[in-house]
Amino acid sequence: MKTQIDAVIERAIMAGKIVGTVVIVIKDGETVYSRAAGYADREVGKPAETRTIFRLASVTKPLVAATALALVDKGRLSLSDLARDYLPYFRPKRPDGEVADITIHHLLTHTAGLSYGADPKTTPPERMFNAGLADTDFDFEENFSRLSTFPLLAAPGTLWSYSIAIDILGAVIAQIEASSLDEAVRHHVTEPLGMKDTGFSLSDPERLATPYADASPSAIRMGDRHLVPDNDGNMLTFAPTRLFNPKAFQSGGAGMVGTAPDLIAFLEAVRRGGAPVLKDETAKAALLNQIGNIPRLGEPGQGFSFLGGVIQDTVLAEVPMSRGSITWGGVYGHSWFIDPVEGISAAIMSNTAVEGCLGAYPRDIARAIYDA
């Protein structure tokens, strides 16, 4: 395994596709691979280390989702609760004009009918909302009340659409806990798991990786506001400095930072039954498809769990993982998966968007893990 993964890492770095990376693989509870390579900051020659802290982007989502599930386990939240009962300002309408009944289950599974942005060319500034990556001075209410001015893509429970839903869930959690989202995630998830470097603020600024973006012939350093195209041709607005803005709402979908050792600790906790964060039955449910037969357009062979995508057909999904594996990533440059059948958890992190999340790099690492 080591030779195969090393070859993928070295090829990606030499080609300028990846600047810095940390990869950790655990099988049956034992660490079988752990390596940091490349640069945390290329321009000053600072090497990536296992302890390097990355902006997590959507790797934030499963941590916030697990916080919500922990509240369900404690009887403080129900999957059938309506989001508007906690957030009176959040009242988006169905396509037929009626206020939608959006539940916690809908938010967790991205079946609320929400989207991930509004077209700035056709949307007045006073209606634009922040999706968690760009900088903002909005708080939860200012941001999410604006969603009430947009019709949903579909009635809740009828369409899977990747969206700002986990940001809404984060606001619900903060309301229930009467605290910041950071404090809630720390109390219910990261502190019990010893994830000391994961949160909405930095434990050690000196260890923060510099973010880079795809470019030719090699990745370039991000500016304070950087536009990067994703695989669908959409332009993503990155604002690395958002992390340091105390006025920006804590984005449950994209706002945390963390390390590969912290992430693998979380993945292993879920794989091994959830303790000390979740009940065993809750952790098992978190690994199952939760959207029934609702298709994930553009993602054949995959359903969706409470934490990420679920592999239902390995041939259609074109992945080496077993059926029943769950996987997701973070657009700043990360990918992860849990394979319950093979007993594997993998954290594949980098400081290079979007290659480290949506490019060949994480796919090649996954294949190397299984080809060994």
Cα–Cα distance measured from residue 22 to residue 331, given in angstroms and rounded to the nearest whole number: 15
Active site residue ranges: 58
pLDDT in tens, 327-368: 999 999 999 999 999 999 999 999 999 999 999 999 999 999
Residue 196 has pLDDT above 90, yes or no: yes
Of the CATH numbers 1.10.10.10, 3.40.710.10, 3.20.20.140, 3.30.70.20, which one belongs to the domain with range 1-60+187-215+253-371? 3.40.710.10
How would residue 120 be classed by pLDDT, with cut points 50, 70 and 90? low
* Per-residue pLDDT band at 118 (split at 50, 70, 90): low
Q: In this prediction, what percent of the chain has a pLDDT beyond 70?
A: 94
Q: How far is CA 119 from CA 122, 130, 150, 235, 318, in A?
A: 6, 12, 11, 11, 32
Q: Between residues 125 and 60, which one has the greater pLDDT?
A: 60
Give residue 128's pLDDT band: very low, low, confident or very high (50, 70, 90). Answer: low
Mean pLDDT of the chain: 94
> 3-class SS at 334?
strand
Structure tokens at 161: 């659409």
Taking the C-alpha atoms of residue 214 and residue 290, their distance in angstroms, rounded to an integer, is 33
Question: Mind listing the pLDDT tens digit for each residue in 12-63?
Answer: 999 999 999 999 999 999 999 999 999 999 999 999 999 999 999 999 999 9
| Burial track 232-256 (b if 16+ CB lie within 10 A, e otherwise) | eeeebebbbebbeeeebbbbbbbbb
Query: In the chain, what is the straight-line distance between the N-terminal and C-terminal CA atoms, in Å?
Result: 4
Percentage of residues of the chain with pLDDT beyond 90? 83
More confident site: 237 or 211? 211
Nearest Cα to 135, choosing from 212, 247, 223? 247
